[in-house]
Amino acid sequence: MLPRRTPVISRPPVVLRAFRDSDAALIQSVAADPLIPLITSVPASGSRADALAFIGRQHRRLSAGQGYSFAVTEADSGTPVGQIGLWLRDADHGRASVGYWIAAPHRRRGYTTAALDAISRWGLALDGIDRLELYVEPWNEGSWRAAERAGYHREGLLRRWQYVGPERRDMYMYSLFPDDLLVIASPV
Ligand SMILES: CC(C)(COP(=O)(O)OP(=O)(O)OC[C@H]1O[C@@H](n2cnc3c(N)ncnc32)[C@H](O)[C@@H]1OP(=O)(O)O)[C@@H](O)C(=O)NCCC(=O)NCCS
C-alpha cells in the first residue's frame, strides 16, 4: 500500500515537503528558465494564477495515483528552491521515475544531489517499487553528476527519446536499485 500523503523528508541541506500556495513565487520565478517549462508543467506565463493552478495540480497527482510531487526547500531557512517528483506510471512493473529542477539562484549548492538521495531512498522503500529511473540529456552535466552522486548508473543513450519543445532529444537513461545504495558513500 503506497502512502496517501506526501511526507516531509529531512535530508540536510534540504527538506522535501508537499507544495503550499506560498510557493507560488518560486513557480513564477522559473517561468523564463530556458528548460524548466519545457520539461515540466510549470507555466511559462509567470502569472500568479497559473502558478497556483500548478500547485493545485501537484496535490491532485497524489490523489490520482500519478506520484508524489515535493517542493525542495532549504533546511536552514525553509526557503522553497525547486521541485522533485517520484512518478508512478510504471508502478505495476515495480518501476518509478524521478524528475527535478532547482531555481537558478540556488544551483550548485548540492541541493539536487541531496534531494535525489532523499527521494530515492524513500522511493525504493515503498511497497512494490524496486527500480528507479531518470532521463538526462547528455549536455546536462549538473543533472547527471547529481544522479551519479546519488548512486544511479548510466545504462545507455536513448536516441531521440523524447520531445523537448519542438525537437526530439537524446537522453541518457539512469537507474537505481536498492543494492546500489549499499555501495555509495553518503553524498553531500
Ligand atoms: C540540473 C540541475 C537540477 C542541477 O541542480 P543543482 O542543485 O545545481 O545540482 P548540485 O548542486 O547537486 O550539483 C551536482 C553536481 O553537478 C555539478 N554541476 C551543477 N551544475 C553544473 C553545471 N551547469 N555544469 C557542470 N557541472 C554542474 C556540481 O558541481 C556537482 O558536482 P560534484 O558532485 O562533482 O560536486 C539544475 O541545474 C536545474 O534545475 N537545471 C534546469 C532543469 C533541469 O535540467 N532538470 C533536470 C532535467 S534531467
Q: Is position 106 within any domain? A: yes
153 DSSP β-pair partners: 175
Q: Is position 101 within any domain? A: yes
What was the pLDDT predicted at 8?
A: 98
**Distance from residue 169's CA to the centre of ligand 1 (Å):** 19
**Distance from residue 145's CA to the centre of ligand 1 (Å):** 7
Instruction: Indicate the top mutation candidate among 72, 119, 140 to test ligand 1's pocket, ranked by most ligand atoms within 8 A of CB.
Output: 140
Distance in angstroms (rounded) separating the CA atoms of residues 33 and 116: 21
- Domain containing 50 equals 9-133
Q: Is position 169 within any domain? A: no
**Distance from residue 11's CA to the centre of ligand 1 (Å):** 17
What was the pLDDT predicted at 37?
A: 97
Minimum CA distance residue for ligand 1 atom 3: 101
Q: Is position 151 within any domain? A: no
What was the pLDDT predicted at 183?
A: 80
Q: Is position 62 within any domain? A: yes
What was the pLDDT predicted at 33?
A: 98
Which residues, 6+ apart, have CB-to-CB distance to 120 below 8 Å? 98, 132, 150, 151, 152, 176, 181
Q: Is position 149 within any domain? A: no
What was the pLDDT predicted at 184?
A: 74
**Distance from residue 4's CA to the centre of ligand 1 (Å):** 31
Minimum CA distance residue for ligand 1 atom 27: 142
Q: Is position 150 within any domain? A: no
Number of domains in the chain: 1
* 3-state SS assignment for residue 138: coil
Q: Is position 112 within any domain? A: yes
Tens of pLDDT along the chain (188 residues) come to 889 999 999 999 999 999 999 999 999 999 999 999 999 999 999 999 999 999 999 999 999 999 999 999 999 999 999 999 999 999 999 999 999 999 999 999 999 999 999 999 999 999 999 999 999 999 999 999 999 999 999 999 999 999 999 999 999 999 999 999 988 767 77
CATH number of the domain encompassing residue 47 = 3.40.630.30
